[in-house]
Structure 1
Amino acid sequence: MTPAARLSGAIDLLCAIQNAPRRPADATANAFFRERRYIGGGDRRAISTIVWDVLRSWRRLHWHFSDLTGAISPRLLSAASLIFRGESMDQVRLIFSGDRYAPSPLTSREDIALKKLEGRSLSNAKQPRAVRLEYPDWIEPVLAETFGNRLEAEMEALLEAPTLDLRVNLLKGTRDSAIAALRKESLPAEATELSPWGMRLDGRQPVTAAQAFRDGLVEIQDEGSQLVVLAADAKSEHRVLDYCAGAGGKTLALAMTMENRGHIVACDVHEKRLEGAVKRLRRAGVHNVERHLLTSGDKWAKRRAGSFDRVLVDAPCSGTGTWRRNPDARLRLTKTDIEELLVKQAEILDRAASLVKPGGRMIYATCSLLAQENGNQIAAFLKRRSDYRLLSGDEMPSTLPEKLRERGSFALTPKQDGTDGFFACVMERAVEKKDDAT
């Protein structure tokens, strides 16, 4: 595809995203490309890069058009993004030529609005902080509670394009062998600093087409997510419950740490997500996992109360820690969403707690940056459940990096750690004391 045709595709995808405001952009993009299988891998990546650049700059782009009457269209935002990347107005007019597969020519309204942007910077000191740092106005006090005077630096890091992190599958090889295999396919992976299993690539790369991925030697998984699994410290003799398993990313890593032994139950309330795990489990060579769909009125949990050595609760959350990857999530998140999530997280914690056997551990994790969903949520849980305690730092798994073993919980951010934003804590259930015989 020509650059102009790619821009047309990006504008079409932005329109599709705008027309489904409550649907995650990546889900819309996946459907968009499935319906257009004629678009090759390189063109898909180029189109996605344009779209995600616009989404990552959404509030700032709109601020520059604040004096413009009428709707701000995806094509106007895309053209503005080109200018802020250094294209001249003459170059933009050439791209909007109306030739075959190219966007139609700029209207006089668009031309005048875009001409005013020449020489400007996307970020501007006159922009309100929430606009300049691309987060909703209402969330600023919540972010300030978490970060204090680090707020601006942390939010600026979330504006950067994310890396692509991979995890080696130790059931099939070593990290060194995985890196070598990827490099043979022109994928220059480097070992991550914190996770002993992690590898990192810059930007969007065709990893799923690589033989190492097809053979199950590597999986796509953020380094922070890998560290959550390390915190679980699951052993080959354990019975483990992945309570909010989704499509099984952490389930796969747990199976690896357990050397494909023991027993894992992967639960979720979404049947399609659990079904999506089947192919991944098969590709990874994992066979110690049982899947279970959680349904209303299900007595499964009651029958298995107190039977798991480890229960991982990867709780539904605001996803604020993934804003680098999912910039559209900033636009969808509301105060009501947070309020509802806090209730749901507490309910899930209470249900999952009953499944941990005495002496066993529950690991609570989110990909949120917000204290409300993380430390505050755990503090409230520990007040409700006197039979649980937070591990001390010296009880945390020795496989974790030293800086994450200072206490029984840790928080990761893109600014400090180069990962997505994650929170994890490890709690242990007390062993029931038996009364002495009289």
Structure 2
Amino acid sequence: MSKKNVRNLALDVLIDIEKKRAYSNLSLHHVIETNELSAQDVALLTEIVYGTIQRRDTLDYYLQPFVKGKIEPWVRLLLRMSLYQMVFLDRIPDRAVLFEAVEIAKRRGHRGIASLVNGILRSVQRQGLRSFDDIEDESERLAIATSHPFWLVRRWIEQFGFDETKQMCEANNFPPEQTARVNVMRATVGEVIDRLKEEGIEAIPSSVVPIGIKMTKGNAAKTSVFQEGLVTIQDESSMLVAYALSPTETDVVLDCCAAPGGKTTHMAERMNNKGRIVALDIHDHKVKLIEQQAKRLGLSNIEAKQLDSRQAHTQFAPETFDRILVDAPCSGLGVIRRKPEIKYEKNEKDIAQLAAIQRNILRAVAPLLKRGGTLVYSTCTVDREENEQVIAQFLDEHPEYDRDETLASRLPSSVASYVHDGMLQLLPHHVFSDGFFIATLKKKGEMT
């Protein structure tokens, strides 16, 4: 397939995301699955789509002096993706980008639109990009230069300081690498890497998690290694949750909000397919995802149930579980690299509403933990209102719980230094993984 068609597909995906609010990863996956694309074409398509979304506000800042009047949404998207290639993809000649942009404009519109697109892009090429130095406010300059909403940058500066926020925003614009968890019940890390190599996939051991691998070439999800249950595609940060909870072979575990089952199955593997895990999710179709994962991995100690975890007390008696995981619904502001549109769609009201849900889930399941048991609360966000503040309020309301100060001892040495007061906050630039939060709490008393 030609690069011209790849760019057409890229525009289709961008339109789908903006018009239908589709998730970038799902829309992109659908297009890749329904078109015969080479590995090179998939790489270019992915880079154009993610890059254009990641750099949206920066690209609009560059385009603003050259765009006069109102233009159709698809034309703006075409200009953005074309300028992205001109500015950020050095290996593609400007003339090729310009030619393809004009051809797409002709096919989708008319000669007038093609002429407009050509004129704008050539003006940018001739006059150059406007400087960020024109923006006086330091926070606003950072927001535009890294393409993050101003309110979010301001909020993060208040929470983490300017330098940490700058590093986080810059890291969010780098494409994520595919990582996977090795099912050590079935194979070693070395054996999996060798098997993947036989299928044309290059992988190296993770520097973050001992049972993790990182793909340097190819997609492990398309291999027999994956189908045979030797690996699970999972971010390295997400793998840390099972280390934090550290379930044993005799434990009864409650996994709230468990779908699609990555953390559930990791815990089940650590338990050597013994004990019992009750995995809840509010949606029936997501419960089926957990069951599919368990079957693929050969795990029989998982009982997946459709249930809102806030109603778990209606199904289970107090002090039923040895360990509880609350991997709570959150804003997802730690996974912007994977879903870059998130940063434009979320707002402060969303964060407040999610924090309320998170507190309610914790309140609902707190009585279900045995005395002496461990509760882990985790999110894939970096926002303190959803993380530290949720834990602080929970502890104020539940004097029967304490922070677990031993968390660092259970985590890999690569992240132990980021643990404070029984809580781990990983930002995207710390170990170049997803931003992630983990807090471990202990229920007072002796386990019976």
TM-score by length of 2: 0.88
1:25-104 equivalences under 5 Å are: 25-33=24-32, 36-39=34-37, 43-67=41-65, 68=67, 69-71=69-71, 73-84=76-87, 85-86=89-90, 87-96=92-101, 98=103
The verdict on how the C-alpha distance between 1:298 and 1:388 changes in structure 2, with shifts beyond 3 A counting, is: closer
Counterpart Cα distance in 2 of 1:153 and 1:297: 37
1:321 to 311, 334, 339: 334
Residues 29-428 of structure 1: matches in 2 within 5 Å? Answer: 29-33=28-32, 36-39=34-37, 43-67=41-65, 68=67, 69-71=69-71, 73-84=76-87, 85-86=89-90, 87-96=92-101, 98=103, 107-118=114-125, 120=128, 124-126=132-134, 128-149=141-162, 150-202=164-216, 205-295=218-308, 301-393=314-406, 396-401=408-413, 402-404=416-418, 407-428=421-442
Q: Tell me, what secondary structure is at the counterpart of 1:275?
A: helix
Q: Distance in 2 between matches of 1:428 and 1:171?
A: 29
- SS of 1:135's partner is coil
1:4 aligns with 2:4: yes
For 2:138, the equivalent position in structure 1 comes to: none
Gaps of 5+ in 2: 136-140
Task: Give TM-score scaled by structure 1 length.
Answer: 0.90
Alignment: residue pair count: 429
Most deviating of 372-381 and 59-68: 59-68
In 1, Cα distance between equivalents of 2:98 and 2:292: 46
Q: C-alpha distance in 2, partners of 1:236/1:322?
A: 32
Residue pair 1:233, 1:397 contacting (<8 A) in 2 also: no
In 2, distance between residues paired with 1:396 and 1:185?
37
Compared with structure 1, are the counterparts of its residues 278 and 154 closer, same or farther at alpha carbon in structure 2 (3 Å cutoff)? same
For 1:235 and 1:123, how far apart are their aligned partners in 2? 57
Greater helix share, 1 or 2? 2
1:336-361 deviation line (CA, Å, top 9, x unaligned) = 11111111111111112122111111
- The answer to whether the 8 A contact 2:370-2:447 is kept is no
Report deviation, 1:88: 4.5
What do residues 126-173 of structure 1 show as CA deviations (whole Å, max 9, x unaligned)?
A: 453212122212223321133113211221111111111111011211
Relative distance call for 1:46 and 1:276 in structure 2 (3 A) is farther
Moved more, 331-340 or 194-203: 194-203
Deviation at 1:25, TM superposition (A): 2.2
Percent identical: 26
Name the aligned partner's letter for residue 378 of structure 1.
I
Q: Aligned pair in 2 of structure 1 residues 328, 50: CA closer, same or farther (>3 Å)? A: same
Structure 1 residue 280, shift from structure 2 partner: 1.5
Report SS of the residue matched to 1:420.
coil
Contact persistence 1:167–1:226 (CA under 8 A)? yes
Q: Judging changes above 3 Å, is the alpha-carbon distance between structure 1 residues 410 and 138 closer, same or farther for their aligned structure 2 residues?
A: same
Alignment-mate amino acid for residue 112 of structure 1: G
Shift of 1:326: 0.8
Superposition RMSD in Å: 2.6
Distance 1:302 1:354, change over 3 A: farther
SS at structure 2 position matched to 1:173: coil
Using the alignment, how far apart are the partners of 2:152 and 2:47 within structure 1? 27
Offset at 1:286?
0.8
Post-superposition shift, 1:304?
A: 3.1
Unaligned runs of 5+ in 1: none
